[in-house]
Structure 1
Amino acid sequence: MSSYTFKPRLWPTIITLPILVCLLLLGNWQVERLDWKLDLISKIEARATSEPVELPQGMADQDELEYLHVTVTGRYDNAAEVTMYSVGPNGEPGYDLYAPLKLTDGRSIIINRGWVPEQIKDQNVRPETLVDGEVTIIGLLRKPWEKLWYGPENDPAGNMWFYGDVNGMAMHMGINAYFPMFLYADKIDSDNGFPVAGRTEFNIVNNHLDYAMTWYGLSIVLIVIYLIAHIRKKEQ
């Protein structure tokens, strides 16, 4: 019967050990990130499904307010409405309507009222979508976002917006005292017309478990290769 011996060599061992430690640390870090992401998802789901609260007076960490369910009361400035390119419920091209709501406390907040198809982008052909008088809007707070490196620039003059520059929109709308987040209006069950509201998706990527398994898997592969390289058959 053949017998084997394990004889580690100096330089392969010196190279392998720090690589192994790094792989294990990366795996442990992804496990910690997984716990953090699961906690974040739980908090967001709780915020989004809770009873709506009043809009905060002060500005806290926007991450802590993201998807918070709030209620506001005020009047729309329909003349200041802007449109952002968006894909509709059935993949149809169209636009999300953003309009400032002047609140009863003097501030304004920019409301994403919902989506309309491309052919009724112009206000003049959809007067029925404009809301006059005091209204109460319930929806989810959303953070502004920056332009993707490959995306087009916003074109305020042409009323073509492609990313959520809340400060740029506020300047274009001529509002000064405003809440620096968007409010995405909830869908009203009785409203089946345009704009189509309540389309917020919780696209929270959570690949940390896959990443952790990858790093741990590479650690196992490294150990197996190291062992194979240093196990030798004993000479008889």
Structure 2
Amino acid sequence: MIKNFSFHFIFLVTICFLLLLGYWQTQRLEWKMNIINSVENNYTLKLDKFPFEGGIDKEFEFMQVELKGSFIKEKLMYFFKSNLSGMSGFEIVLPLKTENKKYVYVILGWIPYDFKESFNLDFIDSNKELIVNGALIYSKERKPLIPENEYSASIWYLLNTDEMDNFHKIESSPYILKIIDQNKFENLLIEFEPSNITNNHLQYAVTWFLLSIVILIMYIYYIRQGITKNEV
């Protein structure tokens, strides 16, 4: 009897767990759709000036803006990140000193993982002011599972302006500028489109729900087989 109880319990708990996973993915789907809609709406807007103070609740994130200033090449950072094709590599990030003496971190573009050792910034003149256009990205919050930055190798894992400021001894805007002009730097892969934000939560939800249905059918089949044997 105990064996039968354990069997039924495991089956029912598994079904409930899979249903909860499916429901959770539908919630994530709604959350991701809201993000995509927000990105697409903001991406069509262009600001007249850079929001150095940050604004309220990331209100300017993904909006486009123009900046003029000079890059500080000696503060080069490599941020570990896969590109939109899934290849491992690094985003190249430099602080930009604007014409009004303020600092903004700029994502120049992406390089493959193997290119790091041979990469250089010869294509940038620190003594020359440049005009850069891009989309705004708000500083990311550190979460428990994010690795610590490898400062000695200049490898970073989190776009957090406070951490970058503490390391470089500067004070920057909480907004980071991501260059979106694919022809700006020939040495770098520049990719950013709102439509490229992945949203696989519907597939995940369908998968969990289908698994729960399959297990439920197996469970019902097992019970019916047991009833049939008892009747015989």
TM-based fold match above 0.5 = yes
Letter in 2 for 1:110: Y
One of 196, 205, 211 as aligned partner of 1:218:
211
Paired residues for 1:186-201 under 5 Å: 186-187=180-181, 189=183, 191=184, 193-194=186-187, 196=188, 198-200=190-192
Deviation at 1:139, TM superposition (A): 0.6
Q: Distance in 2 between matches of 1:72 and 1:145?
A: 25
Q: Which runs of 5+ in 1 are unaligned?
A: 1-9
Higher Rg: 1
Deviation at 1:153, TM superposition (A): 1.0
Say whether residues 1:102 and 2:98 are aligned partners.
Answer: yes
Deviation at 1:222, TM superposition (A): 3.0
Q: Distance in 1 between matches of 2:140 and 2:92?
A: 14
Deviation at 1:140, TM superposition (A): 1.7
Q: Residues 228 and 55 (structure 1 numbering): CA distance in 2 closer, same or farther, change over 3 Å?
A: same
Aligned to 2:222: 229
Paired residues for 1:6-155 under 5 Å: 11=5, 15=9, 19-48=14-43, 50-53=44-47, 54-56=49-51, 57-62=53-58, 65-66=60-61, 68-76=62-70, 78=72, 80-84=74-78, 96-102=92-98, 104=100, 107-114=102-109, 118-119=117-118, 121=120, 126=122, 129-130=124-125, 132=127, 134-142=129-137, 143-144=139-140, 153-155=150-152
Deviation at 1:168, TM superposition (A): 3.4
- SS of residue paired to 1:129: coil
One of 174, 179, 186 as aligned partner of 1:185:
179
Q: Distance in 2 between matches of 1:61 and 1:131?
A: 33
CA contact (8 A) 1:73 1:134 kept: no
Deviation at 1:179, TM superposition (A): 0.7
Q: Residues 18 and 55 (structure 1 numbering): CA distance in 2 closer, same or farther, change over 3 Å?
A: same
Letter in 2 for 1:101: K
Q: Percent identity?
A: 24
Q: Residues 76 and 34 (structure 1 numbering): CA distance in 2 closer, same or farther, change over 3 Å?
A: same
CA contact (8 A) 2:72 2:94 kept: no
- SS of residue paired to 2:174: strand
Length-normalised TM-score, structure 2: 0.66
Q: Could you give the per-residue CA deviations for residues 74-129 of structure 1, whole angstroms, max 9, x where no partner exists?
A: 4225365424267999x89887251222353x5421122346865452x5xx2x52
Q: CA RMSD in A?
A: 4.2
Letter in 1 for 2:78: M
Q: Distance in 1 between matches of 2:220 and 2:88?
A: 57
How many residues in Structure 1 have an aligned counterpart in Structure 2?
213
Length-normalised TM-score, structure 1: 0.65
Q: Which runs of 5+ in 2 are unaligned?
A: none
- SS of residue paired to 2:151: coil
Q: Residues 113 and 230 (structure 1 numbering): CA distance in 2 closer, same or farther, change over 3 Å?
A: closer
- SS of residue paired to 1:55: coil
Q: Distance in 1 between matches of 2:79 and 2:17?
A: 44
Q: Could you give the per-residue CA deviations for residues 37-91 of structure 1, whole angstroms, max 9, x where no partner exists?
A: 123223223333x1321333434334x554x1332434225365424267999x8
Q: Distance in 1 between matches of 2:161 and 2:72?
A: 17
